[in-house]
Amino acid sequence: MVLFSEWRERVSWQGDAEVLCVDHGLRPESAAEAEFVAGAAAEHGLSCRILRWTGEKPASNIQDEARRARYRLFADHMAQSGAEALVLAHHMDDQAETFLDRLTRGSGLSGLSAMAADEPHGPQGLRLLRPFLNLRKERLEASLRERGLSWCLDPSNQDPKYKRSRLRKITSLLAEEGLTPERIARTADHLRRAREALEATVRDLAARHVAEHAAGPLRMSREAYAGIAEDLRLRLLNHVVGRVTGVHPRIRFQKLQALDAALIREPSCRHTLAGALIEVDAGRIHIWREAGRAPPETLVITTEAGIWDNRYGYSLSRGPLPQETDAGLLIGPLCNAPVPAKQIRWPEGWPKEAFACSPAVWSRDGVLVASCVPVEQLSVSNDDSIQLDLERLPIQAKLTATFVDDGDTDGGI
């Protein structure tokens, strides 16, 4: 916060900024510490909003749950304020601890590449900026001392019952043997570059081998899939699952490996994984969003534009819309739409079930308005001035690895 305010003055930055401080309510001192932050922000010409984690607190895994709650609070506030990015003070020592934590869990490249200076798809879909990843913690503390400033210390950071505290002690021991935070951070950088190269290759493989229907399902040639190297196949599976569900999945390595083996060896099979259903016959692999016991939510359209099921953006025009912008329309999965199956013209070469979670729009009086799947007698509830556009969105909030510690000991890709 201090260095940001100095940078803002030095370069005459004209953008808007706000300090966010979360009071988790887990220690008696937390409220006073939050007020201390707010006071320090005011001294540096910055507004500060204190966000409070209310409600019942979990009895176990408290640090991880607090971290999740913190990002949820950040995201909710930033959605209201329109903030574009969240600037965090993670430093090189944090990077080293994150790397070691992932190493103890048997992580692959996704985990061991640790934190990025610019994370465009962070928790809750936030863009995270970390300008201090190449600086040691001691340098940041020295910068504050030089300015005559003090700070609060959280005693839980030294409590050995927490894994992060134990890792800090291990880090100092490793440094004595030459494995310094600088070298760990350099290794994480090397691994991140390798991961980014693999991700680019996977995107290219998906573009060449995966066919995508506008209504959501995907398919690819089984022969083409089998011809890809194993590591890339696993990453491609992770990618297509994210594509059909709309969310970056965090899938355990063993589950990916078991599914890959089935796709290669079994003559035909059907599996579910992280909200996706994968069906295989002799020649093709089909993947789609699983309806299961909890199909996508049906929403009342109350604004001119919005997002449905993390997968589709919609925009509505009727013109002009009434002031309350309530068009009397609903958006939901085709399986819940008011249309008999016999009226649907099912796309050829695809399982019918693959379209159960495709988007459909209907009026409050039960008249289907729009669908990505061709439907007979489609109408617009006696108002042909309504125009609805649906756009397939990129995969939403990234769940893999750099900001949450969920106790997963089975590693990842």
Query: Of 61 and 309, which is predicted with more confidence?
Result: 309
Task: Indicate the pLDDT class of residue 366, thresholds 50, 70 and 90.
Answer: confident
Same domain, 143 and 31: yes
At residue 235, the pLDDT reads 92
Q: What is the pLDDT of residues 113-139, one digit of tens each?
A: 878 899 887 888 789 999 999 999 999
Q: Mean pLDDT over all residues of the chain?
A: 85
Answer yes or no: are the C-beta atoms of 339 and 201 closer than 8 Å.
no
Residue 411 lies inside a defined structural domain of this protein: no
Q: In the listed set 289, 311, 341, which residue is the last one of a domain according to the structure?
A: 289
Same domain, 19 and 130: yes
9 C-beta neighbours (distance < 10 Å), count:
11
Task: Indicate the pLDDT class of residue 167, thresholds 50, 70 and 90.
Answer: confident
Same domain, 20 and 133: yes
Q: What is the pLDDT of residues 312-364, one digit of tens each?
A: 888 876 554 444 444 578 999 999 999 888 889 999 999 999 999 999 988 88
Q: Tokens in use for 247?
A: 């969310």
| Residue pointed to by tokens 């002799």 | 282
Rounded Cα gap, residues 156 and 165, in angstroms: 8
The domain spanning residue 246 has which CATH number? Answer: 3.30.465
Residue 408 lies inside a defined structural domain of this protein: no
The DSSP annotation for 241-257 comes to HHHHHSB-----HHHHH
Domain count, the chain: 3
Q: In the listed set 289, 307, 323, which residue is the last one of a domain according to the structure?
A: 289
Rounded Cα gap, residues 400 and 409, in angstroms: 14
Which residues constitute the domain of residue 236? Answer: 213-289
Instruction: Please tell me the least confidently modeled range out of 34-38, 178-182, 389-393.
Output: 389-393
Burial of 92 (0-12, 13-18, 19+ CB in 10 A): buried
pLDDT > 70: percent of the chain = 90
Same domain, 285 and 303: no
Residue 413 lies inside a defined structural domain of this protein: no
Instruction: Please tell me the least confidently modeled range out of 16-30, 167-181, 329-343.
Output: 167-181
At residue 407, the pLDDT reads 41
Same domain, 6 and 142: yes
Same domain, 277 and 317: no
Task: Indicate the pLDDT class of residue 258, thresholds 50, 70 and 90.
Answer: very high
- Asked if the model's pLDDT at residue 406 lies above 80, the reply is no
The domain spanning residue 59 has which CATH number? Answer: 3.40.50.620
Q: In the listed set 151, 168, 186, which residue is the last one of a domain according to the structure?
A: 186
- Asked if the model's pLDDT at residue 397 lies above 60, the reply is no
Answer yes or no: are the C-beta atoms of 404 and 68 closer than 8 Å.
yes
| Residue pointed to by tokens 């594509």 | 243
Same domain, 281 and 305: no
Q: What is the pLDDT of residues 188-229, one digit of tens each?
A: 889 988 988 998 999 999 999 999 999 999 999 999 999 999
Task: Indicate the pLDDT class of residue 377, thresholds 50, 70 and 90.
Answer: low
Residue 192 lies inside a defined structural domain of this protein: no
Residue 202 lies inside a defined structural domain of this protein: no
